Structure 1
Amino acid sequence: MQLSDSGFFSICGHSLEYRMIGPRPDQAPTIVMLHEGLGCVGLWGDFPEKVQQATGCGVFVYSRAGYGQSSPVKLPRPLDYMHFEAREVLPKLLDAINVKQHILFGHSDGASIAAIYAGSHQDHRLGGIILMAPHFFTEDMGIAAIAEAKTAYETADLKAKLARWHKDPDNAFRGWNDAWLDPDFRKWDITEQLAYIRVPILIVQGENDQYGTVAQIEVAERECYCPVDVALLPGAKHSPQREAPEATLAAIADFTAHVLVNNGWSRAA
């Protein structure tokens, strides 16, 4: 497909909104950004532009079904929804946008999806993955924070805030929150996928991340056979792109530069 600066495309029966910054995927290496569990195209703000400027790569951002202006999903979401995104939706999306060389950059749920994809697909186009505030298994403190989000959504102003960005905030919130708070989700664990990843990894995490501890980093360092670089950022919580933007961009730019050199990729096709 010929990508405009923004628009919609159809994948797996859903209309997905997107933005494209910089050179198109058939012209230069592309960083494909996968948002967090309550994120969307709009909630990235101007961060995709900053990533494009810092790396020289094209940057493709989209909202998964149920988020932003994309079409809603049927609720409740199945507990393997991140596996479905990684194994069914993402491969079709990458083909649809005609990607030639890419780096996956995922935040939170998006990081889990990127890890599952990299551990499930032998994709010669993939040069590396950037995992920001990733979760590879559930932790009690993370579940507690998600329960607090439910209270904020039902009794405070979180719903009104999300309604600014999502055309169906209930669909977006419940699709994420109900799945994570399901008792069976305690068994969710994608550690096994890590051993099958064959590209370099950058993990960016805030030292004060309320959804995950450094145990998430430690399991990746222990299980992965590929290089794992870590940027553990003081003072940052679950959104390093907002809480420590300069350090986050510096880590992304440095990692991307190494991926380009090691693969012999050029920023300009």
Structure 2
Amino acid sequence: MLKDVIISGVSLKVKHKVEAADRPTIVFLHDSLGCIDLWRDFPEKLGKETHCNILVYDRQGYGQSGPFTDLSRGNNYLEKEADVLHELIQQTGIRQAILFGHSDGASIALIAAAKYPAAIIGLITEGAHIFVEDITLKGIRDAVVAYRTTNLKEKLTRYHGVKMDAVFAAWADTWLSETFKSWNIEKFLPQIICPILVIQGEHDEFGSMKQVTGIINQVSGKSTQLIMSSVGHTPHKEAGDEVLYHVVVFVKSVYSIP
């Protein structure tokens, strides 16, 4: 099930489970510190409930994929990742993709749906960012302290190995830089024509409801929001059964599944 896919000379670790060639594939995009394994069994559960194929992958630098070739990131780094996603979809022969992105992965999914609509029939975002907020920066600063003073680094090293410090620095240093304060992807939103489900925890420590409103009000496709009480930045982990239920309903509304 695990395989390596080479894109622009970089080896990406991919988990691709195909149930039927005529079914859509739900593509999972992890967050800024995530990887295949940190999704746990959620992708498999969603694939089983929707009878869809699933594809989960580690972006460059993360998990079991090849290391970063350049530790510096420009304000367009998430757009570059959307281009990589497009190439991955093409190489794996996916004709109907439903993107499920969390945090950074959700921002990548938004950009990809805008730039490459032909193969993307649905979009699920969880804790997405479309611009930088003070709450986002505070959350990252708190994470920096935790990385230095708690066992957070030890926990994450189990998944990223010797790449761990690079993974964390690439995220924190970029988002906390002066130049990144102007980062904004709202220009892409009107180009999104597929249906979208926007999931947000009311207690998300990295983003406010302004992110949800901005997405819902600017996309061109049919949009639905799921605001979850008593939930933070990772709804699929904090309230997995509830998220699973609503995502299954959404997927079935996008694609007629017997």
Which category describes the TM-score, using the shorter chain as reference length? over 0.9
User: Could you list the runs of 5+ residues in structure 2 that have no partner in the other structure?
Assistant: none
Secondary structure at 1:164 match in 2: helix
Q: Report how many aligned residue pairs link the two structures.
A: 256
Mapped contact 1:208–1:236 kept (Cα < 8 A): yes
User: Per-residue deviation at 1:251?
Assistant: 1.1
Q: Distance in 2 between matches of 1:121 and 1:16?
A: 20
1:60 correspondence with 2:85? no
Q: 2:98 aligns with which of 95, 103, 112?
A: 103
User: Per-residue deviation at 1:106?
Assistant: 0.5
Mapped contact 1:235–1:243 kept (Cα < 8 A): no
Q: Distance in 1 between matches of 2:90 and 2:216?
A: 30
Could you tell me which residue of structure 2 aligns to residue 214 of structure 1? 209
Could you tell me which residue of structure 1 aligns to residue 145 of structure 2? 151
Alignment of 1:193-212 (within 5 A): 193-212=188-207
User: Per-residue deviation at 1:27?
Assistant: 4.1
Alignment-mate amino acid for residue 96 of structure 2: Q
Change (3 A) 1:76 1:132: same
Could you tell me which residue of structure 2 aligns to residue 114 of structure 1? 109
Q: Distance in 2 between matches of 1:22 and 1:97?
A: 11
Q: Distance in 1 between matches of 2:149 and 2:75?
A: 26
Could you tell me which residue of structure 1 aligns to residue 76 of structure 2? 80
1:164 correspondence with 2:158? yes
Mapped contact 1:21–1:48 kept (Cα < 8 A): no
Mapped contact 2:3–2:15 kept (Cα < 8 A): yes
Q: 1:48 aligns with which of 43, 53, 57?
A: 43
User: Per-residue deviation at 1:7?
Assistant: 1.7
1:10 correspondence with 2:6? yes
User: Per-residue deviation at 1:14?
Assistant: 1.1
User: Per-residue deviation at 1:170?
Assistant: 1.0
1:20 correspondence with 2:16? yes
Secondary structure at 1:76 match in 2: coil
Alignment identity in percent?
Answer: 38
TM-score (norm. length: structure 1):
0.92
**Further displaced range: 226-235 or 149-158:** 149-158
Q: Distance in 2 between matches of 1:9 and 1:223?
A: 34
Alignment-mate amino acid for residue 137 of structure 1: F
Secondary structure at 2:200 match in 1: strand
Q: Distance in 2 between matches of 1:134 and 1:122?
A: 19
Alignment-mate amino acid for residue 175 of structure 2: W
User: Per-residue deviation at 1:183?
Assistant: 1.1
Mapped contact 2:32–2:104 kept (Cα < 8 A): yes
Q: Distance in 1 between matches of 2:9 and 2:165?
A: 20
1:137 correspondence with 2:131? yes
Alignment-mate amino acid for residue 112 of structure 2: Y
Alignment-mate amino acid for residue 159 of structure 2: W
Secondary structure at 1:65 match in 2: coil
Mapped contact 1:111–1:132 kept (Cα < 8 A): yes
Q: Distance in 1 between matches of 2:201 and 2:85?
A: 27
Structure 1 runs of 4+ aligned residues shifted over 4 Å read none
Could you tell me which residue of structure 1 aligns to residue 87 of structure 2? 92
Q: Distance in 2 between matches of 1:255 and 1:32?
A: 15
Q: Distance in 2 between matches of 1:199 and 1:60?
A: 19
Could you tell me which residue of structure 2 aligns to residue 243 of structure 1? 238
